[in-house]
Amino acid sequence: MTSLLTQKIDSPCAWRGEDLVKDPEQAWIYHLSPDTLAVLDRAMVQVRDRGLKAPNFIREDFLIPELDKEIQNLANELENGRGFLLLRGLPAEVLYSEEEMAIIYYGLGLHMGTPVTQNPRADLLGVVTAIGNSKEKTTRVYETNAYLPYHTDLSDVVGLLSIRKAKQGGLSSLVSAATVYNEILERNPHYLALLYRPLYFAHLGNDLPVPSPIFSYHEDKLSCRYLRAYIELGHEQSNVKLCQVEVQALDLIDAIIHDPAIRLDMMLEPGDMQFANNYAVMHSRSNFEDHDDPDLKRRLLRLWLKMPNARVLAPEFPGRNGFHDNLRLAPCA
């Protein structure tokens, strides 16, 4: 069973954006070395020359044994370190086509974990671009050019590969769930017990809203699940009105995650690969203005990964990896 954590979290996962930006070493940016890039390139060529495309190949098709230790370190950083990383150095604009970039990205993902389905169509490699109607409540927010609220996804880790930037805007933003927790503990600790109780979430891969707490503390790790719009929609669909104190608690979370000192903003340049642990980090994106030419529009590729070193979740905190995974349900009080 989960327990309520009443002590401040003091570990690498409890970072503040302002501190990372001021860090002269920028240790959260992992620059791919020439040797690593050469290994990835060789593996990509082998896959491409066999006529295979992402995601229609397997781990054994993309051979990169020289990077085993490096990939283990990346996975450890995601689970036991800051909970996110930015891989930079893939020469996207000068060397690779989108198809070749996708092979490298998906191949690397196969060695980090297991790609899982991202929607009812069972897509393993998602395309993030503005195609949806933001006025429809059922539209998934990543499909528009509107502000994308802070949230977590249905997998251990989410990855993004930048293919093209928008004409203007579209900053990626991350916030540490542990830091949000620490701030609540300091400002209004009486809200914490409420945030351990299940709320109704829409869009957790089920037709009906699914009950889940926002925070769970289990086996010495804090886990988080959040997207306010989906909580509000879930309660609307369930005909269960959020009470005043629940709204106040959500207001506090939103105030904290929008604090410029706490969040970390970054522009994903073409070729950048960002990975984040969905239980340790919430992610967002600012609104953007896109190009009129479809060939120039903002475009990213997305992976949802089930990780071999993922944390153990509490029974009452529903865990899921992909849309076709079985979801553990908890009673909603």
Please write the tens of the pLDDT for every residue from 109-143. Answer: 999 999 999 988 899 999 987 655 445 544 455 55
| Mean pLDDT within 291-305 | 87
Tokens of 298: 């903002």
| Mean pLDDT within 176-192 | 97
Give the whole-angstrom CA distance, residue 191 versus residue 179: 15
Per the rule left: phi > 0, alpha: psi between -120 and 50, beta: everything else, 220 is: left
pLDDT level of residue 333 (50, 70, 90 thresholds): very low
Residue 93 has pLDDT above 90, yes or no: no
* Amino acid, res. 2: T
Q: Which residue has the higher pLDDT, 130 or 184?
A: 184
- Lowest mean pLDDT, pick from 56-70, 130-144, 314-328: 130-144
- DSSP letters of 189-234? GGGHHHHTS-EEES-SSSSS-EEE-SEEEETTEEEE---HHHHHHH
What are the C-alpha distances in Å from 4 to residues 8, 67, 190, 247? 12, 39, 12, 20
Q: What is the percentage of the chain residues whose pLDDT exceeds 70?
A: 90
Tokens of 7: 């002590």
Residue 7 is predicted with a pLDDT of 96
Tens digit of pLDDT for each residue in 16-46? 999 999 999 899 999 999 999 999 999 999 9
Mean pLDDT across the chain: 90
Closest CA to 308 of 2, 71, 28: 71
pLDDT level of residue 290 (50, 70, 90 thresholds): confident
| Mean pLDDT within 71-79 | 98
What structural domains does the chain harbor? 17-175+266-306 (3.60.130.10)
pLDDT level of residue 300 (50, 70, 90 thresholds): very high
| Mean pLDDT within 281-308 | 87
Q: Positive or negative, the Cα torsion across 74, 141, 225, 156? A: negative
For 247, list phi and psi in degrees, rounded to 5: -65, -40
pLDDT level of residue 70 (50, 70, 90 thresholds): very high
State in Å, rounded, how far the first CA of the chain is from the last one. Answer: 16
Residue 145 is predicted with a pLDDT of 67
Predicted model pTM = 0.91
| Mean pLDDT within 263-282 | 97
Burial 317-332 (b: 16+ CB within 10 A, else e): bbbbbbbeeeeeebeb
